[in-house]
Structure 1
Amino acid sequence: MSDSSAHNRDSASPLQSRSPTPSPQDTLTLRALVSTKDAGVIIGKAGKNVAELREQTGVKAGVSKVIQGVHERVLTVTGPVESVAKAYTLIISQLVASNPSSPITASPSSSHTTVRLLISHNLMGTIIGRSGLKIKAIQDGSGARMVASKEMLPQSTERIVDVQGSPEAIGLAIEEIGKCLLEDWERGMGTVLYRPGTSEERTGTRRSTNGLSSSSYGGSRRSNGDNVRRATSPSSQQASVAAQPAANMRTQNISIPSDMVGCIIGRSGTKITEIRRLSGSRISIAKAPHDETGERMFTIVGTPEANEKALFLLYNQLESEKERRVGREAQQQQEMQD
C-alpha cells in the first residue's frame, strides 16, 4: 500500500485520460465506496496502479482524499461504458489478488467479492425496472448478484448497490448498469453526492464555513427541520439567498411519482412551504405529469447549497412517506389475519 502522501498527491492531481474525450452522451461517471486500504491498492505506490489503469482503459480515474478518522473513500471512474466496466473489472481483480484472505484458487477470476456502487436515488427505478425485471435480467446475464440498499446515505441522495460475484461477472453487470444510467441520465440530474465524513460532521456538531450546522441537511430521516431552525433564522437565510448574484443561481429538475406529490405538498401547502423556507430555494410543481410514467416535475431554483438542502429535504419526505405506507399496509394485513 502506498503512504498517505502518495494518496493525496494522486487524488489532488487532475485526472487525465490518454484517449480522446467521448461525447457527453456516451460518457459515464460511476462512483463506488472503497476502504482506505483498498484505495491504497487502487492508487499504488506513487500512483503507479491508477496510472496503468488509465493507460490500459482510457478512463479518468481517481480516489477522494484521505479524511482523518474516516475509513472510506470514493472511487470515481469516467469514460465510455465499456471502458468503465473494464476498469472496474481490472480494479476488482487487483483487489482480490492483493488480499491474502481471499479464497483464491486457480486465479483471481474464480474468487467472489463485492463492489459497492453509489447510485442516485432517482435512478434506482431505472436499474430495478418494472416489477424488478431489469435487475433480474442484469443478474441473469452477468452471473453477479445485486442488492440495493433501501436508505439514502447521510447528507446525500445516493444509495448503495452491492454487486457481488467474480471480477468478470461484476464487470458485465456494471456494463449493463452503466447503459441503464446513460439511457435515463436526466433523472440523475440534481443528485446530492455522498461524501464520506466523520461521525462529528454527520451529527452536525461541527460548524461549516457558512455558519450553518451540518445537520441543516443531514440528521434523522424523519427530521422535521427543527435542527435547521436552531442553526439559522428564516429571515437571515432568505436574505443570504437573495443577496446571491444571478450567475450563482442554478435550476434543477426532479421527477416525483404523482401519488407522492400530495405528501410533499402537505395540507394547504404546509410541507412544501416549510421546505422552501428551510432551503431558501424556489420550488415549483408541474400541474400535470410530464410523460407516460405519470410522474410530475419539480423545478428547484437557487444557489447550489440551497438546492442541495431542498433536494435532501424532498427526498427525506419521500422516504418517510414510503415507510409510513409500508407500515400501514403491514398493519392492515395483520388485522386481516386476526
Structure 2
Amino acid sequence: MDDEKYLIEERARIERLLKEEVLEMRALMLDETTKLIIGDGSETIRQLRAESDVKIWFSKQVYGNEHRILFVKGLAENVAQTFGSIARILAMATSPNAVDINAVHVEIKFLFPNPVVGRIIGKGGLNVKEITKASAAIVKKSYHFLEGSTDRLVSIYGVPNSIHIATYYMAEAYFKTVAYGIDLSREIPYQPREGPVKEVSEIIIDRSDTKSPTLYAVPQPSIKKRRRSDFSDHEDDVRPGHLMRIPNLEIQSIEPSKSGNLLSNITKVVTYPDKYSSKVIGREGTYINMLRESTSCSIRLKSPDDKEDLAIISIRGPPLCVDAALLLIAHRIELSKRLLDE
C-alpha cells in the first residue's frame, strides 16, 4: 500500500514539473541546418519563438567545426512542440516535393547528460520501448561521451509528430532524473571545439583514380624541399609546391575496392624506417590505438620479411580514412625526425 502511495505521489510530482518547471533541451545541428532554422533575416526562428513561447538560440560558430548546438528553453510541452516544428522545417528542406510534409521522416540528435540518457533508456530498455511505442519514432543512443563532456547523443528518427511526442517523453525522463535527487549541475556539457590547427594551408583529394584517391598537402608558397630521402642516397626531387606527396612513407601495395565506391574499403601497405616505430605505436600502443579510433581504420603492424630496418603497416578502411591515417603517421614521423635532429 505504501509503495502504491509513493508511486502516485511521484507521478503527481513529475506531472507538476512537466506543467510548471522550465527546462532546457539541446540538439546537435549542422551549420546548414542552423541556417534553415534561423531563416532569412531571422524570420523563421522568430516565428518559432512566438508560436511556442520558448527561448531559442545557438552556440557560436567555431572554426573547423561543422556543428553548432541548438538550445530550446521553456515548458516541456512547448519545447516538444518546437522540436516538432523544427522537424517540419527539416522535412520541407529535404523533401520539398513531398505531398504531405508531416509524413516525411527526419532525424534530430539530442544532447543529454549521461544520467538522463540512462533514465531515457530505462532498466532493460523498458523506457525507450515505451517511447518508441507511444511515438512511433526510432530512438538510438550513443555509447560514448562526446569529447570533453559527460554528454551523450540520443537520436530521434521519425515524422514531425513522432519527434514532438518523443521529445515530451524525454523531457519527462529529465524531470524524473531531477526528482530522484541527481545533481545534474556536476555534469560537463559538450562545447564545440576548434578543429585541429593544420600545418598546411589546404588538403586536396585527387579523384582521378576513384578507387584509391591520393591525398596531397598544399603547403605555404615558396617551399623548398631539400631533405635526403629515407629510401634513397639521393636528395629528394624538388616538387611543385602545390603537389607535394605525403612524405616519410613509401606505399608498397594497394588493394582497391571492387566496386570503386569511395565508401568501400581499400587496403594500403606502407613501409617506413623502423627506428620511428616506437613513436608511431606510442607508449603501450596509445598513439596507434588513437589512430584506429579517430580514422575508423583497421591498422595492423607486420613483421618485415627481409629488410629489418623497415617497419610495415597495413591500413584498411574507406579511401579518405586510409589517407588521413597515412597523413597522421607521416606527421608523427616528421616530429620524431626533428626530435632526433635536435
Q: TM-score, normalised by structure 1?
A: 0.50
Which residue number corresponds to residue 336 of structure 2? none
Question: What amino acid is the match of 2:84?
Answer: T
Answer yes or no: is the 8 Å Cα contact 2:18–2:76 preserved in 1.
no
CA 1:164–1:55 in 2, change beyond 3 Å: closer, same or farther?
same
| Partner Cα separation in structure 2 for residue 169 and residue 197 of structure 1 | 32
- Counting only pairs closer than 5 Å after superposition, residues 1-338 of structure 1 correspond to structure 2 as 26-99=21-94, 102=95, 105-185=98-178, 186-187=181-182, 188-200=184-196
Question: What amino acid is the match of 2:149?
Answer: S
1:96: Cα distance to partner?
Answer: 1.4
| Partner Cα separation in structure 1 for residue 52 and residue 136 of structure 2 | 23
Answer yes or no: is the 8 Å Cα contact 2:117–2:154 preserved in 1.
no
1:25: Cα distance to partner?
Answer: 6.2
Question: What amino acid is the match of 1:198?
Answer: E
| Partner Cα separation in structure 2 for residue 176 and residue 155 of structure 1 | 27
Answer yes or no: is the 8 Å Cα contact 1:103–1:111 preserved in 2.
no
| Partner Cα separation in structure 2 for residue 131 and residue 103 of structure 1 | 39
| Partner Cα separation in structure 2 for residue 23 and residue 179 of structure 1 | 7
Question: What amino acid is the match of 1:81?
Answer: A
1:80: Cα distance to partner?
Answer: 0.5
Answer yes or no: is the 8 Å Cα contact 1:82–1:175 preserved in 2.
yes
| Partner Cα separation in structure 1 for residue 134 and residue 147 of structure 2 | 32
Long gaps (5+) in structure 1: 1-21, 202-221, 224-338
Residue by residue over 1:118-154, the C-alpha shift from the partner in whole angstroms, topping out at 9 and shown as x without a partner, is 0101222211111110110000000001000000000
SS in 1 for 2:186: coil
Answer yes or no: is the 8 Å Cα contact 1:104–1:111 preserved in 2.
no
Long gaps (5+) in structure 2: 1-16, 198-284, 287-342
SS in 2 for 1:182: helix
| Partner Cα separation in structure 2 for residue 158 and residue 138 of structure 1 | 20
Which is further off, 25-34 or 164-173? 25-34
Identity of matched residues, %: 27
- Relative to its length, the structure with more strand (as a share) is 2
- Relative to its length, the structure with more helix (as a share) is 1
Q: Which of the pair has more CA radius of gyration?
A: 2
Residue by residue over 1:30-49, the C-alpha shift from the partner in whole angstroms, topping out at 9 and shown as x without a partner, is 00000000101111122111
| Partner Cα separation in structure 1 for residue 167 and residue 102 of structure 2 | 16
| Partner Cα separation in structure 2 for residue 158 and residue 178 of structure 1 | 16
| Partner Cα separation in structure 2 for residue 145 and residue 24 of structure 1 | 26
Answer yes or no: is the 8 Å Cα contact 1:104–1:110 preserved in 2.
no
| Partner Cα separation in structure 2 for residue 54 and residue 105 of structure 1 | 26
- Aligned residue pairs total 180
